[in-house]
Chains A and B, each alone.
Chain A
Amino acid sequence: MKKYAYYELSVIQYILLIHGTQVGIGVLTIPRELAEQAGTDGWISLFIGWAAAVLVSLVTTNMMKRYPDKTIIDIFHLLLGKYLGKVATILMAMYFAIASIVFIANTTAIINVWILSQTPAYIIVALFAIPAYMVVQGGMRVIGRYSELVFYLTLWMPLVLATALKDAHWLHLLPLIKEGWMPILTASQTTILSFLGFEMAYFVYPFLQKKQYASIGIVVANTLTLLVYLYITIICFAFFCPDEIVEYVWPTLNLWKVIEYRFLERIDIIFLAFYLFILSTTALPYLYFTVFSTSQLFNSRDHRKHLWVLLTLITVMAWVYTPSFIDLKKMTQTWSYAGLIFAYLLPLLAWGPIWLSKRAGGKEA
């Protein structure tokens, strides 16, 4: 039984969907997070994070390859039975729900600090619910197209950012590995988490048209993300002095603030407004897979009702409770731990049993 029309994503959409999910708020904060732990050597840790992410993504795709037509939820049901499968699905839905809520809360907080400082948070959330509904109601196909289009639409950003390079001080990056490898390894904890998003492969894999490119695609997606992070981190390190960068919560935005043209000033406002596009490519897949999981749970074909309910819930939540910046930090931590479990640990643990069960099944047949 096919509940959803699979085989809808092209390889490029697959790559950019995963890449879009990975690149989000991390870009705004990662230079500071790395500098806090590893000084200006932090960019080296990105490679460690990348390697870990690529490794786990490959394991994930390998796992999904065993069941080319099934999402992780179907696999849960298959392996754990109906009852446990449902529990696993609920957990999955909760993970995605937490991810989307934390993400939206963070985004709203940034908007509240940088652009609309007087507007209440729930109004901003309600505002974003409209485009979110319009895109997510179309399902995987539209989300795939959206991620792809947004990627091309935001290609101007790195080019504009390069104008900040004229004030760069490359000496900041020297000497390499100044404090030894330990801080770099510590910082890689952060970087591992900033690659979160490849767990989309659990769901996206069955939608992919050409499965033979799944592994290559996910490596490309991770590498693209690495390049984005590397670019932004190195520019920030070269621009801000190492003692100063840790002062900024969102150093990337401070970087944009400096850029000025004859016809346009304060590019950070425009950048941040347009950055909402990039943020949306993270939020929308998470939202979609939340309602995808719940609608599978209730065996309903139409995810739109669930989406409607979820978005209303999030808006109401934002109305009832606006998290402070400390709460946000804690929430983000929770998400990170959940991500560590769901994205990194789960495939590593599940791969063995799945591999074995498939082999056993193969022998019986």
Chain B
Amino acid sequence: MAMRGWLRRKKTSVKDRLSHSGEPVRVREISDQLSENIAELNAIFTLTPDLVIRTFDSRHAGGKVTLVYLTGLVDKNSINNNVLRPLLSHREGESSSIFDLLSVGKVTVVYDFQTVENDILKGSSVLFIEGRKEALVVETNGWPQRALEDPQLEASLKGAHQGFVETDSQNIALIRRYIPNRELKIKEIWVGERGDTKLSIMFLADVVNPEVLQELEDRLGRIKVDSILNTGELEEYIEDNPYSPFPQFITTERPDTTASHLLQGKIAVVVDRSPSVMIAPVSFASFFQNVDDYSIRWPVASFIRLLRYLAFIVATFLPAIYIALISFNYEVIPLDLILSIGESREKVPFPPLLEALLMELTLEMLRESGIRLPAPIGQTVGIVGGIVIGQAVVQAGIVSNIMVIVVAFTAIASFIIPNYDMSSAVRLIRFVMMVLAAMFGIVGIVVGLMALIGHLISLQSLGVPYGSPLAPVRFSDWKDLFVRLPLWKMLERPTGARTVQEKRQGDNQPEGDAK
């Protein structure tokens, strides 16, 4: 296709891009003849019915003017009021410069069709003027957007109720509202050959570690793909260990979470067109933290923290432990319990591993089926699942009561983990542990745990240890690990992100007796 040759490169930040055709790239200058320009545009945008080319007389321009835009990507009000109206209506005594007449914030002058094409595709409108070898790019972007909503995935009790949307400028604005500071810097990088996604790297310049920042930039710069549609995709291209089941970056849809991470010296990457922001570097422990932790009282927050870690252990190991105990090491279970387990299993025809796999898989299916169904049908799934799991299966003698309890407990525990990516990782690891337990009993579980620990401590996020502050142990960061101590105790930023500036706050002593 002829269009292909026109896909070309404006941004210098991404150097060697994929070339979709072997031809050398022609740089077309804008002609001073409107008709030539229109012909050129029609050649570029074939089969593009949403392209609007409007030619009209404007006295300011002293001749014909052509306005080009993609309908739907522009804000029609802005076009009508700020571009068309001033150009069409003429009043005496007004300045005659066309540049001054456009009542739009950002107007740039361009000279070649590459830029024109790109800007049109991104929602700007372009103004060609008869007799001039240049065009004006008017920022009239206004694509369909949704309103700010409560974050779906990360609901919060006491935190803010604004979530990110699909427009990066809005998202950046949301973050800036939390950190109105000149040290909050933004670096822009374009990634993707066809999609050309804008990534905005946000960081606090006086806090962030420059090496980590450089590492992130390098990795982003090395991505060569067609398009990045989603933050999750971006993550996969720059992860330290792509074979790990664990998420190595946090994606969040909460501006307040992002701001809190930025203040800890981490880096946020805002991906245009994606409602979630990527945060790096992160550690294992940060997946167990939540904004609400800091807005409720610290003893309660600490308790909930501990509960989450317990939930992590339960969700990972409980079915495995059940299998190990039932098929290898029943000596460990107290007599009364083992008798009741034995009685509840007396009808079950399957070995424990099969029994557990059956139930776990059923649960995973229920869970997956519920996610994408519309709410009214989703409820039905819940009811059907509840009855199937809760009663029928046991009455039919396919699984034991105890197994149902184990599975239910595991499911609840895995919902407590506040991060979706982490709780998905746990789901996967659980199955590995179950197989290990079925083969080697408690020794298998311990070996699995050993491998898990070995993996977690050798994992890195942007070159920063993932296991920190557990391994390597940094006791100063334990104030915000298993428990959350009062905020006025945390005088320094966590060392996890290797920040340059350590001090976080002054000596905030609490009022009253707590001194």
Whether A and B touch directly in their complex, counting CB atoms under 8 A apart, is answered as yes
> When the two chains form the complex, which single residue of A116, A144, A146 contacts B441, counting CB atoms closer than 8 Å?
A116
Cα separation A49 to B201 with both chains bound (whole Å): 58
At the interface, yes or no: B333 with Cβ under 8 Å from chain A?
yes
Looking at the assembled complex, report how far the CB atom of B136 sits from the nearest CB atom of chain A, in whole angstroms.
Answer: 56
At the interface, yes or no: A159 with Cβ under 8 Å from chain B?
no
Cα separation A84 to B455 with both chains bound (whole Å): 39
Instruction: Specify the chain B residue showing the minimal Cβ separation from A275.
Output: B446
Cα separation A116 to B446 with both chains bound (whole Å): 13
Q: A137-B458, A280-B450 are in contact. Are A111 and B443 (CB under 8 A)?
A: yes
Q: Is A149's CB under 8 angstroms from B457's CB? A: yes
Q: A145-B457, A145-B465, A146-B471 are in contact. Are A266 and B447 (CB under 8 A)?
A: no
Interface string of A128-142 (1 = CB under 8 A from B): 101100110110001
Interface string of B451-466 (1 = CB under 8 A from A): 1011101100000010
Among B334, B440, B441, B458, the most chain A Cβ lie within 10 Å of the Cβ of B458
At the interface, yes or no: B123 with Cβ under 8 Å from chain A?
no
Looking at the assembled complex, report how far the CB atom of B505 sits from the nearest CB atom of chain A, in whole angstroms.
Answer: 26
Q: Is B333's CB under 8 angstroms from A10's CB? A: no
Instruction: Specify the chain A residue showing the minimal Cβ separation from B468.
Output: A145
Q: Is A146's CB under 8 angstroms from B453's CB? A: yes
Instruction: Specify the chain A residue showing the minimal Cβ separation from B324.
Output: A273
At the interface, yes or no: B332 with Cβ under 8 Å from chain A?
yes
Chain B residues positioned under 8 Å from A12 (CB to CB)? 473
Cα separation A13 to B472 with both chains bound (whole Å): 8
Q: Is B458's CB under 8 angstroms from A264's CB? A: no
Looking at the assembled complex, report how far the CB atom of B445 sits from the nearest CB atom of chain A, in whole angstroms.
Answer: 7
Chain A residues positioned under 8 Å from B473 (CB to CB)? 12, 145, 148-149, 152
Instruction: Specify the chain B residue showing the minimal Cβ separation from A119.
Output: B440
Q: Is B472's CB under 8 angstroms from A145's CB? A: yes
Q: Is A263's CB under 8 angstroms from B334's CB? A: yes
Cα separation A134 to B450 with both chains bound (whole Å): 9
At the interface, yes or no: B442 with Cβ under 8 Å from chain A?
yes
Chain A residues positioned under 8 Å from B265 (CB to CB)? none
Q: Which of A107-159 contact B (CB under 8 A)?
A: 111, 115-116, 119, 124, 127-128, 130-131, 134-135, 137-138, 142, 144-146, 148-150, 152
Interface string of A68-86 (1 = CB under 8 A from B): 0000000000000000000
At the interface, yes or no: A277 with Cβ under 8 Å from chain B?
yes
Q: A138-B458, A148-B473, A262-B334 are in contact. Are A128 and B440 (CB under 8 A)?
A: no
Band of interface residues on A:
35 or more
Q: Is A277's CB under 8 angstroms from B450's CB? A: yes
Instruction: Specify the chain A residue showing the minimal Cβ separation from B336.
Output: A262
At the interface, yes or no: A265 with Cβ under 8 Å from chain B?
yes
Cα separation A77 to B458 with both chains bound (whole Å): 31
At the interface, yes or no: A270 with Cβ under 8 Å from chain B?
yes
At the interface, yes or no: A4 with Cβ under 8 Å from chain B?
no
Among A111, A142, A148, A276, the most chain B Cβ lie within 10 Å of the Cβ of A142
At the interface, yes or no: A269 with Cβ under 8 Å from chain B?
yes
Q: A135-B458, A148-B472 are in contact. Are A130 and B447 (CB under 8 A)?
A: yes
Chain A residues positioned under 8 Å from B333 (CB to CB)? 264-265
Q: Which of A276-303 contact B (CB under 8 A)?
A: 276-277, 280
At the interface, yes or no: B470 with Cβ under 8 Å from chain A?
yes
> When the two chains form the complex, which single residue of B328, B440, B455 contacts A134, counting CB atoms closer than 8 Å?
B455
Looking at the assembled complex, report how far the CB atom of A263 sits from the nearest CB atom of chain B, in whole angstroms.
Answer: 6
Q: Which of B301-358 contact A (CB under 8 A)?
A: 328-329, 331-335, 337
Chain B residues positioned under 8 Å from A10 (CB to CB)? 472
Q: A115-B441, A273-B442 are in contact. Are A265 and B467 (CB under 8 A)?
A: no
Chain A residues positioned under 8 Å from B470 (CB to CB)? 149
Q: Is A266's CB under 8 angstroms from B454's CB? A: no
Q: A13-B472, A127-B440, A149-B471 are in contact. Are A266 and B457 (CB under 8 A)?
A: no
Q: A135-B458, A266-B332 are in contact. Are A277 and B447 (CB under 8 A)?
A: no
Looking at the assembled complex, report how far the CB atom of A141 sits from the nearest CB atom of chain B, in whole angstroms.
Answer: 8
Q: Is B472's CB under 8 angstroms from A146's CB? A: no
> When the two chains form the complex, which single residue of B329, B335, B446 contacts A277, counting CB atoms closer than 8 Å?
B446
At the interface, yes or no: A308 with Cβ under 8 Å from chain B?
no
Cα separation A146 to B470 with both chains bound (whole Å): 10
At the interface, yes or no: A274 with Cβ under 8 Å from chain B?
yes
Cα separation A10 to B443 with both chains bound (whole Å): 31
Cα separation A127 to B435 with both chains bound (whole Å): 13
Among A146, A150, A270, the most chain B Cβ lie within 10 Å of the Cβ of A146
7 tightest A-B CB contacts, nearest first: A134-B454, A138-B458, A131-B450, A145-B471, A135-B454, A266-B331, A131-B451
Residues of B within 8 A of A (CB): 328-329, 331-335, 337, 440-447, 450-451, 453-455, 457-458, 465, 467, 470-473
Chain A to chain B contacts (Cβ below 8 Å), 29 pairs: A111-B443, A115-B329, A115-B442, A115-B443, A127-B443, A134-B451, A134-B454, A135-B450, A137-B458, A138-B458, A142-B457, A142-B458, A144-B472, A145-B467, A145-B473, A148-B471, A148-B473, A149-B453, A149-B473, A261-B334, A263-B337, A264-B333, A264-B334, A265-B332, A265-B335, A267-B332, A273-B442, A273-B443, A276-B443
